[in-house]
Amino acid sequence: MEAFTRLDAKAAPLPLANIDTDQIIPKQFLKTVEREGLGRGLFFEYRFDEAGNERADFVLNRPEYKGAGVLITGDNFGCGSSREHAPWALMDFGIRCVISTSFADIFYNNCFQNGLLPVVLKADEVQALMEEAKGGNHMVTVDLAEQTVVSPSGQTFRFEIDAQRKEKMLKGLDAIGETLQQGQAIDVYEMKRALAQPWLEDA
Amino acid sequence: MRCMSGKTLYDKIWDAHVVSQQDGEAILYIDLHLIHEVTTPQAFAGLRANGRKVRRPDRTLAVADHNVPTEGQELGVRAVADEEARLQLETLERNVADNGIQFFGMGDVRNGIVHVVGPEQGRTQPGMTIVCGDSHTSTHGAFGALAQGIGTSEVEHVLATQTLRQKKSKNMRVLIEGQPAPGVGAKDFALAVIGAIGTAGGTGYVIEYAGDAIRALSMEGRMTLCNLTIEAGARAGLVAPDQTTFDYIRGRPAAPKGGAWDMAVEYWKSFYTDEDAVFDREVRIDASKIAPLVTWGTSPEDVIAITDVVPDPASFSTPDKRAAAERALEYMGLQAGQPITEAKVDVVFIGSCTNSRIEDLRAAAQVVQTAFVNGKLVAPHVRAMVVPGSGLVSAQAEEEGLDAIFKAAGFEWREPGCSMCLGMNPDRLKPFERCASTSNRNFEGRQGRNGRTHLMSPAMAAAAAIAGHIADVRDFV
Ligand code: SF4
């Protein structure tokens, strides 16, 4: 997993609530067997019209937001399907951090597996950032170690994050490698289970 | 000191699966891992890249469901026309063969939608932890199993370690009590719950459904209810196992046999919520007050009774919600104040892991048959299709003659799979087509670009097919 420490980047405002993972990456892009290259499908139906032309008014198509690394968005971002293609597509497109008031559980979890930082701020703070990002300057700084987002005008917002998740994200740790170190505990658990629920062993 | 209150069903399943724990993050043992073609190729690639093996192929079960065409399945994967879909299906075949995982491929009568197949095979059992790279894994909670959707990185983690790293969620109980009106069932219960708490209302919770209306539900009904729990934002849904559960499991291929059966039932009976257990949140719903429900918008929480009119965006409480409602009405091509029964449908889809089991097909067929006897067929402008959840559901329905009823009335009778639930295979809505659907998501573009989805029960979808517009099933029975 890619580590996340500090990010200085343009922030794009996308003030819609309940953006589901079908919107983030539509199903026609799920037929891949790769993780890479999904950026081309990100927000496909927002970015392109029926004829396949870019919609000039969509935020990520506007020249001033080209290369944005942060997305500021409405409540309950990432609801719906569990597809990890959603964080993969965001990352592939260059987004490393999404700021919202709330995220759907599975999406939130998937972000941490990939070094995409989901930041939860209060509604008025998200609103303030959103307004600033709509203006002429949209550079923000996200600092994971400090747990802060600094707005274009220099306002600092602090966010909460689970300590273990923060640690893993800062270091870019591999969860599977870590769990495998507990192989013995898993062996013991399995032996006990085989005795208590033998019917699960001959399936 | 923490006072010693009782444990919830969720607490008990959780405790029984903790391998180790640190700062609140547990390594949770996983009893059953279900996999399918769409969310696993990158996980197997990850294992290979790191020289890792599947720890418990015997606790893993694979199906091909999301991409499969719903005709010509006996020709197998090689006959799938869509090249990308074929590559994904072939990749799954290779991965399961390389790792010795049980697999029901295309054309195998046991194949079907992953959440239909697990229970049908008796693989899904009470007290288990179950995961799958699919959000509707919550379905299996109907058996009193902790069943959760996970992402592909977690799929890889479970393949390699047979465990999941997780923090515990909070407990919510939804009590549904009272006698529902005729024509009202599990799908309406589920939509009522989502309508009541919202699509983010369950975020951070595991929901246990309880109350006499739940106890009275069949396993199929409980599965429909738990399936839709994810649309309320919760991590999982649960129903405590009882005699209905045990009767359903008995005799299925993977059910415990002989002396092990009694031992298993004894174990399963220990999974219930203690009387003095405390829930973090409790919601009560009166089943007798629920009317047949349909969605009008593009979120599963956009629910109204069939007798209602399309809501006015101005009636919503916040600017965000008003904007969302306006956008939804435009997308759906509906007017505020219009009776929902005026909405003409182009397509009717009876299928998906929410409502494609035998009981769902029976409920729909009953409406169709009653109409047929009164000389009514599927309305001429409607394309109506039934997609059974598995080959075995299909075979059972054919044995009962349900396929004949559907076909005589003008429905297409198709082969099993996810089909038009998400339109990854050729079954898709055309732009601006309106669909009465028994599936679970009415998101923009879900069933096809610019397609318009109205979620409802199988009986209601059957009524819409006959009427040619969204209709009240109570006028048909
Ligand atoms: S039927 Fe629909 S919701 Fe269910 S697993 Fe298939 S695609 Fe997902």
Query: Mind listing the pLDDT tens digit for each residue in A13-48?
Result: 999 999 999 999 999 999 999 999 999 999 999 999
Number of the ligand 1 atom closest to the C-alpha atom of B65: 6
Q: Which pair of tokens denotes residue B473?
A: 């099933």
Which CATH number, 3.10.20.30, 3.40.50.300, 3.40.47.10, 3.20.19.10, labels domain A6-172? 3.20.19.10
Q: Is B134 near chain A, with CB under 8 Å?
A: yes
- Residue pair A41/A22 in contact (Cβ under 8 Å)? The answer is no
Distance A65 CA to ligand 1 centre (A): 35
Residues of chain A with CATH 3.20.19.10: 6-172
Residue A203 has pLDDT above 80, yes or no: no
Measure CA A192 to chain center: 38
Query: What is residue A201's predicted lDDT score, i.e. its pLDDT?
Result: 87
| Close Cβ partners of A58 (under 8 Å, ≥ 6 residues apart) | A43, A46, A47
Instruction: Tell how strand B170-177 and strand B129-132 pair up.
Output: unpaired
pLDDT class of B23 with cuts at 50, 70, 90? confident
Mean pLDDT over all residues of chain A? 94
Residue B442 has pLDDT above 70, yes or no: yes
Q: Which residue type does B74 have?
A: E
Residue B1 has pLDDT above 50, yes or no: no
| Close Cβ partners of B183 (under 8 Å, ≥ 6 residues apart) | B292, B459, B473, B474, B477
- Residue pair B136/B35 in contact (Cβ under 8 Å)? The answer is no
Q: Is B161 near chain A, with CB under 8 Å?
A: yes
Rounded CA Rg of chain B: 22
Tens-digit pLDDT profile for residues B70-105:
999 999 998 899 999 999 999 999 999 999 999 999
Mutate to test the pocket of ligand 1, among B421, B427, B455 (most ligand atoms within 8 A of CB): B421
pLDDT class of B20 with cuts at 50, 70, 90? very high
Q: How confident is the model over B30-56, as a mean pLDDT?
A: 96
Rounded CA-CA distance B242/B240 in Å is 7
Query: What is residue B477's predicted lDDT score, i.e. its pLDDT?
Result: 77
Query: What is residue A2's predicted lDDT score, i.e. its pLDDT?
Result: 81
Q: What percent of chain A is modeled with pLDDT above 90?
A: 91
Q: How confident is the model over A154-167, as a mean pLDDT?
A: 96
Residue A125 has pLDDT above 60, yes or no: yes
Q: Which pair of tokens denotes residue B397?
A: 């329905």
Rounded CA-CA distance B232/B209 in Å is 13
Q: What are the DSSP E strand ranges found in B287-420?
A: 293-295, 303-305, 347-350, 383-386, 412-413
Q: How confident is the model over A91-118, as a mean pLDDT?
A: 96
Residue burial B45-84, b: 16+ Cβ < 10 Å; e: rest: bbbeeeebebbbbebbbbbbbbbbbbeebeeebeebebeb
Q: How confident is the model over B220-232, as a mean pLDDT?
A: 97
A35 contacts in chain B (CB < 8 Å):
42
Distance B441 CA to ligand 1 centre (A): 9
Judged by CB atoms closer than 8 Å, whether chains meet at A179 and B27 is answered as yes
Q: What percent of chain A is modeled with pLDDT above 70?
A: 99
- Say yes or no: CB of residue B134 within 6 Å of ligand 1: yes
Query: What is residue A1's predicted lDDT score, i.e. its pLDDT?
Result: 78
- Determine which helix (DSSP H) or strand (DSSP E) holds B112, and give its type and residue range: none
| Residue with tokens 């934002």, as numbered in its chain | B233
- Say yes or no: CB of residue B231 within 6 Å of ligand 1: no
- C-alpha distance from B113 to closest chain A C-alpha (Å): 15
Q: How confident is the model over B374-392, as a mean pLDDT?
A: 98
- C-alpha distance from B238 to closest chain A C-alpha (Å): 17
Residue A144 has pLDDT above 90, yes or no: yes
| Close Cβ partners of B315 (under 8 Å, ≥ 6 residues apart) | none
Residues 295-324 (B) with a CB less than 8 A from some CB of A = 299, 320-321, 324
Residue A202 has pLDDT above 80, yes or no: no
Query: What is residue B3's predicted lDDT score, i.e. its pLDDT?
Result: 58
Rounded CA Rg of chain A: 20
